[in-house]
Amino acid sequence: MRAAERLGKESKPAPGDLRFVQAFVNTLDVESGRDRFAEVSELQSWLHTHCELDASIRLTEKHRQEAVEFREALRTVMTEGSESDPAALAVLEDVGRRADLRLSTTKDGRLNLDASGTDPCSALGRLLAAVHTAMLDGTWSRLKVCAADECRWAFYDASKNRSGTWCSMEVCGNRSKVREHRSRQRPAQA
């Protein structure tokens, strides 16, 4: 079962706009090698649909490379133990700076962080703003990357104690447990 199939059948989507961050990170299926941003047109379509990219703006290969770098920086900071990675944090800071993130107020008087433009960097900035909001409401720590190196799928840990490690216990968790069992059996057989 491929990672993408696991998401639809077994993984709970993240709440609110954090689901767009999850979907963005999952545009690369590490297991199959399928990259939904392999072509500029695919990135353009995704950002237009999910992040309010102005349809008249034409993206370039440089925009695609920046978006892929941003995606992988997000994956890195979502990985347990890597949330302080200086290179990944520098990419996120750069996107935030170029997206010109701004505070605004909602009708009910709450502060909201958003990117006001319709350009490619503002589209990525909206994802960064969703991360910020999720950090404030406590949902960010539940968005994780599968611990299986061959998978690395972003999943929302809905477990009560926030102990989820794999996107799917039935697939990635089982693979890990079988590997551990076999490694313990080898010395006994020797």
What DSSP string runs through 16-65? TTHHHHHHHHTTEETTTTEETTSSHHHHHHHHHHHH---TTPPP-HHHHH
* Domain extents in the chain: 3-189
Over 50: is that where the pLDDT of 181 sits? no
- Are 17 and 136 within 8 A, CB to CB? no
CATH assignment, 3-189: 1.10.3300
Structure tokens that stand for 170 in this block: 């039935």
**Alpha carbon distance, N-terminus to C-terminus of the chain:** 33
Residues in a beta bridge with 34: 29
Q: How many CA atoms lie within 13 A of 158 on its CB side?
A: 10
Q: For 13-65, how does the pLDDT look when each residue is reduced to its tens digit (9 = 90+)?
A: 999 999 999 999 999 999 999 999 999 999 999 999 999 999 899 999 999 99
Amino acid at 47: L
pTM: 0.86
pLDDT range class, residue 166, cuts 50, 70, 90: confident
When pLDDT is cut at 50, 70 and 90, the band that residue 142 belongs to is very high
* Phi, psi angles (nearest 5°) of residue 144: -130, 170
Pairing of strands 111-115, 101-105: antiparallel
pLDDT digits (tens, 9 = 90+) for 58-115: 999 999 999 999 999 999 999 988 888 999 999 999 999 999 899 988 899 888 899 9
Report the distance separating Cα 27 and Cα 180, nearest Å. Answer: 30
